[in-house]
Amino acid sequence: MEKKLIFGHKNPDTDSICSALVYADLKTKLGDNVEPVRLGVISSETAFVLNYFQVKEPRLVETVGNEVNEVILVDHNERQQSANDIEQVQVVEVIDHHRIANFETSNPLYFRAEPVGCTTTILKKMYKENGVDIPKEIAGLMLSAIISDTLLLKSPTCTAQDVAAAHELAEIAGVDLQAYGLEMLKAGADLSDKTIAQLLSLDAKEFQMGSAKVEIAQVNAVDVNDVLARQSELEAAISAIIAEKGLDLFVFVVTDILNNDSVALALGKATEAVEKAYNVTLADNKAVLKGVVSRKKQIVPVLTDTFQAL
């Protein structure tokens, strides 16, 4: 049986890495020949998770077409967020919880997308549907992904399905949901050792919004001022990225995990879209976005609608 690679998006977050590991476990137990891999550097938060549950990180790859003919995507479907040579392989499965955009295939495939807070919430269902027991460490990975993507069940993306899954998985994993979740989020929010390049690439995604090319990067912090104190350096690096990629807009979102608000640093020729989308005025290229914590639900769709109306 020919091997397939399973991977999440570039600049992988905890859900992206854990989903690849989790789905590889399930597919292997169902008799498939698969390997989980990653398309980028693992974050501090994800490193904490893998160390806590003693799971080896997936192998890093830059291209996939030189290894396999078929791949499985988790936690993404937009091609610009995937492997650089994604056009050279056949996508045979997608498990995702994001919008569907810039995606088409020449052959039929298994595509499962559900409006839940996390990809592993879907994967948990798939273990049950296939009658496969969830091991302790796999439950830990699934739980961690849910905590990460829903900010410990506080994000507007969080659904009743995510809450139920998190409580059940915490029991299997043998951890206290709140205590472990807060420890994990704080580990990911420690940005003191991160370079400017790392801050802007830890969790960055590129989107096509109408005719505009937009990149949105997001980091979580306990104190947003620790990040914004480096604004001049951030702006210089963002300007370079805009020029290199031909972006119309780059939005750097710093999310306060304790107060559930964000500060957006926006640069590019289309910054007016941010002002119109949130009814704010950028001052020194920044604006507070009250109650905004989710890129998937509170930023991408709002900005997309704004660009389409411009």
75 annotated among ligand-binding-site residues: yes
Total residues found in the chain within this entry = 310
- 97 has binding-site annotation: yes
15 annotated among ligand-binding-site residues: yes
Integer Cα distance of 202 and 43 in angstroms: 7
* Dist CA 161 CA 122 (whole Å): 9
Q: CA nearest 133: which of 168, 177, 160? A: 168
Is 9 annotated as ligand-binding? yes
Annotated binding residue at 13? yes
Measure the CA angle with vertex 290, ends 286 and 294; round to 5°. 95
d(CA 24, CA 35): 6
Which segments of the chain does DSSP mark as H helices, in order?
14-29, 44-52, 119-129, 136-150, 160-173, 177-189, 196-201, 224-228, 231-245, 272-278, 300-309
Sequence ranges of the binding site for Mn(2+): 9, 13, 15, 75, 97, 149
Sequence ranges of the binding site: 9, 13, 15, 75, 97, 149
